Amino acid sequence: MRIFTGILSIQASILGFLSWFGSNRLTSVNLISMPENLSRMAGLILSIVMLIAGVLIILAKENDFLLFLALILWVFGIILGLLFSPSFSGLYFRPICCFICLLSGVYIFTDYNRNNR
């Protein structure tokens, strides 16, 4: 479950990087009508946050602190993704992936049998 969550977060961040590089010709829409340049930078920051959180949860086999940092980054990613990041199709893919990763990360964090193995 930990590896799946990390790969999902890394995959979504890679798709975010690709959309960030290819978004020069597209018009973006965000929830609070921010300027397009600032919205593009928020999309880049969201991709970086998701990449770091994905790597952290993969590395957090026995370290609860790394897992907690990944959870905090996904909460930040949800807020950043919903409010500031651009959506090119109307579907907020990266915040939805952050939410799925957050749910599975909370399950991993609260799994009491994980520390007994």
> Which pair of structure tokens corresponds to residue 98?
């952050």
Is 32 a residue whose pLDDT tops 60? yes
Q: Tell me the per-residue pLDDT of 102-115, one tens digit each, with 9 for 90 and over.
A: 999 999 888 766 66
Burial class (CB in 10 A: 0-12, 13-18, 19+), 22: exposed
Q: Which residues contact 3 (CB under 8 A, 6 or more apart)?
A: 58
Q: Tell me the per-residue pLDDT of 51-66, one tens digit each, with 9 for 90 and over.
A: 999 999 999 888 889 9
> Which pair of structure tokens corresponds to residue 18?
């690709």
- pLDDT band of residue 92 (cuts 50, 70, 90) is confident
